[in-house]
Amino acid sequence: MTDILIRNGRVLDGTGNPWFRGDVAITDGRIEYVGKAGSQGAARVIDARDMCVCPGFIDMHAHADLTVFYKDVQDYKLRQGITTEVAGNCGFTAAPLDPDTEEMLKRYMAFITPPSGVSWDWRTLGEYLHAVDASSPSTNIAPLVGHGTVRIAVTGFDQRAPSAAELERMRALVADAMGSGAFGLSTGLVYVPGTYAETEEIVELARVAGEYGGIYATHMRNEGQDLVQSVAETIEIGRRAGLPVQVSHHKAVGRAHHGKVRDSLALIERTRAEGLDITIDQYPYQASSTTLQAVLPPWAQEGGVDQVVARLEDADARERIRGEVLNAEGETRMGATLDKVTISSLPGDANQRFIGRNIQEIAGMRGQDPVDAIFDLLLEERCAVAMVSFSMSEEDVRTVMVHSTMMVGTDGLYTPGNPHPRVYGTYPRILGRYVREEGLLSLEDAVRRMTSFPARKLGLASKGMLRPGADADVVVFDPDMVIDRATFEEARQYPEGIEYVLVNGRVSVEGGRFTGDTAGRVLRRGRA
């Protein structure tokens, strides 16, 4: 007997084809039938009249690597319709680890480590993935292997090129991760230690990922003044390494550089015409979010958190750093002026009052120069500070959103405090604001960009479409009501209009609320 029958919905099958009125039958975690079920019965029937039925959304750019173990909060992705997350982006993954350097990685990732802590009882990516599977994740996890983590395992946070022997060891770590099921290699070339790597190093490691059929996903070296040059470097890596490319959260940061996405997208179009599979992802907001440490110049971050703290405690080093925190426009490396940089999370009780405040405000509250306020927050919290930076333009957001290569990703960093609203609202925001209210995308095209498009990029044959035999990852939403409620002032607000979410055939969201059923699993390249 059919387990679940979703009746009378507007079926958006994920292909981009026009919706049709129909039913979706589910048995044993897979889609049994899509069409008209007639009088067919089922153990459970969901009436989807006046609602849309589509594949579960795939978050092409996620950071669930550690928060997957935080069992106090498991619903913030599910309740916006996400059933699969691509983890390990921006060069950082929870593995592989080396005993000599793993504490460096743990301290660097402290700003996204859940309050409950993480066991870290693994060494290889394969062992980490087994731990994730055993934890009963709420969503499916498709892992990448992070270049930054691999580099830390071999050279720590040293600002230098690896030796031939070290590069070979890095290649071996990437090969081991790919053999364990990673979907590709990610880099974060604006972050340490990724920013210390020359193009040749990335090509060598990306080539290994390509040999296993993986992709290259990158937070590029620069998204402001050198945006187009960074896209060119990304293209060079993809061509020389011989693998598909994914440009992460494509944007232009810094007021002087707004509009440059037209040039970068034109370069991407020309490159596709020449035969390289290069695509992009995006979140629909004008602000980014990452570690506050990222505003420091790369040289000041060499050696990891302990060395950053030591430099900020040294008067001479501190003054040298001060001269490089802001550019001529008063913007940080992330493209925002200090009145547009807000603190979203930090661990210390004494500084909780600064969450939601911008750096200029915090400086006034502390009676300090704004740059000193940054330095002292980093010192007091041992760099475990997350920020939100308002650095993009709405026009650019729209330009990127309608580009043919765009798929959707949250880039969501779940943190205590007041995280970026994309953590809770990315997908409903697109469906509600940009589809229903503004008509920037059609409903069918938006759903395709959230489902089958990323599934194709990753080679997830059983995800992204409603068709017989596919995994039963399904979203039922009200097209007239769906909208995000999370704001920059109050991010922890769940969206409206996402009525049901099924993960591998089990109901995880019902009536817009989390049921407590966690049915996700680790997806492995070639075995997903």
Cβ-proximal residues to 465 (8 Å cutoff; 6+ apart), any chain: 13, 14, 15, 55, 451, 452, 455
Question: What 3-state DSSP class applies to 223?
Answer: coil
Whether residue 528 is predicted with pLDDT greater than 80 in this model: the reply is no
> Is 194 in contact with 206 (CB distance < 8 Å)?
no
* Chain region(s) in the chain for CATH 3.20.20.140: 57-286+392-458
**Residue reference for tokens 């620069």:** 222
Percentage of the chain exceeding pLDDT 90: 96
User: Model confidence at 113, in pLDDT bands (50, 70, 90)?
Assistant: confident
User: Model confidence at 165, in pLDDT bands (50, 70, 90)?
Assistant: very high
Question: What 3-state DSSP class applies to 450?
Answer: helix
The amino acid at 368: Q
Q: How many CB atoms lie within 10 A of CB 242?
A: 14
- In this prediction, residues 482-488 reach a mean pLDDT of 99
For 38, counting Cβ atoms within 10 Å of its Cβ (0-12 exposed, 13-18 middle, 19+ buried), the class is exposed
> Is 495 in contact with 431 (CB distance < 8 Å)?
no
Percentage of the chain exceeding pLDDT 70: 100
* Nearest residue to 208 via CA among 253, 252, 178, 164: 178
> Is 399 in contact with 261 (CB distance < 8 Å)?
yes
Average pLDDT of the chain is 98
What's the pLDDT tens digit per position in 180-212?
Answer: 999 999 999 999 999 999 999 999 999 999 999
> Strand locations in 401-458, DSSP E?
406-408
What's the pLDDT tens digit per position in 54-85?
Answer: 999 999 999 999 999 998 889 999 999 999 99
- In this prediction, residues 251-264 reach a mean pLDDT of 98
- In this prediction, residues 141-159 reach a mean pLDDT of 99
* Nearest residue to 156 via CA among 108, 87, 110: 108
Whether residue 394 is predicted with pLDDT greater than 70 in this model: the reply is yes
Any idea what the Cα angle at residue 211 is, between residues 206 and 213, rounded to 5°? 95
Q: Which of 35-44, 290-299, 463-472 has the lowest mean pLDDT?
A: 35-44
> Is 125 in contact with 179 (CB distance < 8 Å)?
no
Residue 72: predicted pLDDT: 87
Read off the tokens for 447. Answer: 């759903």
Residue 4: predicted pLDDT: 98
Distance between CA 454 and CA 149 in Å, rounded?
24
| Element holding 22 (H helix, E strand) | strand 20-27
What's the pLDDT tens digit per position in 220-250?
Answer: 999 999 999 999 999 999 999 999 999 999 9
CATH superfamily of 57-286+392-458: Metal-dependent hydrolases (3.20.20.140)
Peptide bond into 55 cis (omega under 30): no
Read off the tokens for 126. Answer: 């394969």
pTM, full prediction: 0.98
